Structure 1
Amino acid sequence: MLEELRTLVLFAEEGSIQNVARRLPLTQPAVTRQVQRLEDMLETTLLDRRQKPPRLTTAGLEVLERAKDILASIEALKAFAADTEPQGVLRVGLAHGLSDGSVAGGIARAAATFPKISLRLKTGWSADLIEQFERGLLDMGIVLRPAGHQGPDVLGTERLAVIAQAGATKSRLTDAAWASMPWVLSPEPCDARQRLLAILGGERHRLVVAAEIQDPAMQMEWVRRGHGLGLMPSRLAARGLPDDLALVDTGDLDLSLQVVALRSPHLNRLAKAAQAIATTVGDVLDIET
């Protein structure tokens, strides 16, 4: 029908079948057949053939205006599809444990290279973000998964360190002592807390939680005051701890998580921006670990 609509618009511009035939180029009978096909499809008369040359009927004039709108929309759609620069809203979920300055700065730098992208960044626990991603509420999720997770979506490894008040514990604890120590941890379903529980035997042990605090700075303050052991990313601990905090030797305990990028299969042009963000986060992890 699009060709027939274009022919009708050309007829309104040129005023005769003969002139339309020259512009297309087609034979005059071919142009006449296109107009007749459109009349058959719409079940109405578009040209008053009693006049020489034919003129648009009242219905023809109404169809002409709608045809112009349709063809303009088609051209706009073509222009949109031809524009390869990513644009639109990109909804990204970031696990709480990764929401530090280095990762946030990397995401900001990556997003800044796509000026037509409007970033919607929210933080949350990985389990919550995965659920939102599966429900289609997020276009991308950068989450933490168990250490054994494999696949092309893995960006890197987040290793956890145990911290304590300086001088409050031995530099290395026995395996039996870990579960009996008091801990200052984030509320469930904190990814680091779940990893710690899994390492200590899952349901066979109940952690002694001295305090549940979500804010990392406040957690460190509680640990500094001797209320219990705490967890933090090793890459952040490597930058240096205050004098009244110390690292605890975890020995063979594998306190690590995989950083995974979940990406919707319907990102289309936004996929470039999502890939840039994923690459940047992976680079930050690689540099700092």
Structure 2
Amino acid sequence: MDIDPILLRAFVAVSETGGFTRAARRLNLTQPAVSHQIRRLEELLGRALIRRTTRRLTLTDDGEDLLLHAHGILAGLDALAQRFRPSPVSGVVRFGAPEAFMGERLPALLCQFSRAFPAVRLDVHVSTYLDLHTMIASEELDLAVVLSTAGREHGGIPLRRADFAWVAADNFLLSNGASLPLAFHPPNCINRLVGVAALEATSIDWHIAFTSPSEQGLRAAVRSGLAVAVLMRSDLGPDLRVLDGEYGLPALPSADFVLIRGRGTASPAACAFGKMLVAMESPAAPTETGI
């Protein structure tokens, strides 16, 4: 049995409006056209669906059952059409993020955005915070996630808080009088800037024992017990601990992941991606993001 969805829509309209004339207005059809569609549906099913009287219109038992099925069928068809409807948004979104922000949610978001906006090409750069600032300033990126320790990024939208901490392996030990070994990213990394700035205000003897542009490389050095690093409390994995006040280490500031954009008006594609990213990080935030 092949039931035309047009017939189901006419049936639902009649049942919801309570009459053929009102259903015809909703469907932008004539009343005879709606009556004809209902007769075709009843003939196809071999059942009476509607009781017609001079005062009111009611559904038969078969009509009530069909109405339940019709709602589900039409909802599924509408969802299918929405899923494969050509997106009016097209173009390229050049997006940058630091490795520490990637996690598991961002790759899922990239896939979700690609499915929702198949005509948009994503161009994603993973780099350091300061490099991302530079790329935004030079208009190499449309949007970027950076870390703000003072919250002064113009037009930046806060996404989530990041707390810096001195981190070491569970078995890390420092002999009395020994220089504190540190593992850092290259000089243009905010973790390094924060850590060095805090250390320079103390009398701690320290040295850089390991340098890596990779977050995984840094963590491997820390887990081995080779050095201490500045990481985020939220990113601690197994075999790592926070050195709260140990070895005279100073407190570190908090920061915010913020979404910034390039100068000028953002493209519709960039706006759509920015709103989806903000919604992922702050589901309760208003949908008007200012992107």
Q: TM-score range by the shorter chain?
A: 0.5 to 0.7
**Where has structure 1 moved over 6 Å in runs of 4 or more?**
202-206
Q: Whole-Å Cα distance in 2 between the matches of residues 275 and 187 of structure 1?
A: 29
Aligned to 2:271: 272
Q: Whole-Å Cα distance in 2 between the matches of residues 231 and 91 of structure 1?
A: 29
> CA 1:114/1:214 → structure 2, altered by over 3 Å: closer, same or farther?
same
Q: Whole-Å Cα distance in 2 between the matches of residues 248 and 184 of structure 1?
A: 14
Aligned to 1:256: 254
- The correspondence of residues 110-149 of structure 1 with structure 2, limited to 5 A, is 110-149=113-152
> CA 1:223/1:183 → structure 2, altered by over 3 Å: closer, same or farther?
same
Q: Secondary structure at the match of 1:260?
A: strand
Aligned to 1:18: none
The question of whether the paired residues in 2 share the 8 Å contact of 1:195 and 1:257 is answered with: no
Aligned to 2:238: 241
> CA 1:88/1:249 → structure 2, altered by over 3 Å: closer, same or farther?
same
Letter in 1 for 2:160: G
Q: Whole-Å Cα distance in 2 between the matches of residues 141 and 205 of structure 1?
A: 35
| CA offsets 1:176-226 (integer angstroms, 9 cap, x no match) | x9x952111111111211121223347998851111012222222222222
1:151: Cα distance to partner? 6.3
1:163 paired with 2:167, answer yes
- The correspondence of residues 82-231 of structure 1 with structure 2, limited to 5 A, is 85-149=88-152, 153=156, 154-169=158-173, 180-201=179-200, 208-231=207-230
How large is the RMSD of aligned CA atoms in angstroms? 3.4
Aligned to 1:48: none
Aligned to 2:13: none
> CA 1:202/1:152 → structure 2, altered by over 3 Å: closer, same or farther?
farther
1:155: Cα distance to partner? 2.0
- The correspondence of residues 41-80 of structure 1 with structure 2, limited to 5 A, is none
| CA offsets 1:62-86 (integer angstroms, 9 cap, x no match) | xxxxxxxxxxxxxxxxxxxxx9832
Aligned to 1:60: none
Q: Secondary structure at the match of 1:218?
A: helix
Q: Whole-Å Cα distance in 1 between the matches of residues 243 and 121 of structure 2?
A: 42
> CA 1:103/1:208 → structure 2, altered by over 3 Å: closer, same or farther?
farther
| CA offsets 1:234-257 (integer angstroms, 9 cap, x no match) | 2221xx413xx3332259723422
The question of whether the paired residues in 2 share the 8 Å contact of 1:182 and 1:227 is answered with: yes
Q: Whole-Å Cα distance in 1 between the matches of residues 101 and 278 of structure 2?
A: 15
Q: Whole-Å Cα distance in 2 between the matches of residues 248 and 280 of structure 1?
A: 34
Q: Which runs of 5+ in 1 are unaligned?
A: 1-82, 171-176
The question of whether the paired residues in 1 share the 8 Å contact of 2:182 and 2:227 is answered with: yes
Q: TM-score if structure 2 supplies the norm length?
A: 0.56
Q: TM-score if structure 1 supplies the norm length?
A: 0.56
Q: Whole-Å Cα distance in 1 between the matches of residues 224 and 147 of structure 2?
A: 29
The question of whether the paired residues in 2 share the 8 Å contact of 1:110 and 1:280 is answered with: no
Q: Secondary structure at the match of 2:162?
A: strand
Equivalent pairs counted in the alignment come to 192
The question of whether the paired residues in 1 share the 8 Å contact of 2:162 and 2:257 is answered with: yes
Relative contact order (C-alpha < 8 Å, sep 6+): which is higher? Answer: 1
Q: Secondary structure at the match of 1:219?
A: helix
> CA 1:281/1:149 → structure 2, altered by over 3 Å: closer, same or farther?
farther
The question of whether the paired residues in 2 share the 8 Å contact of 1:163 and 1:248 is answered with: yes
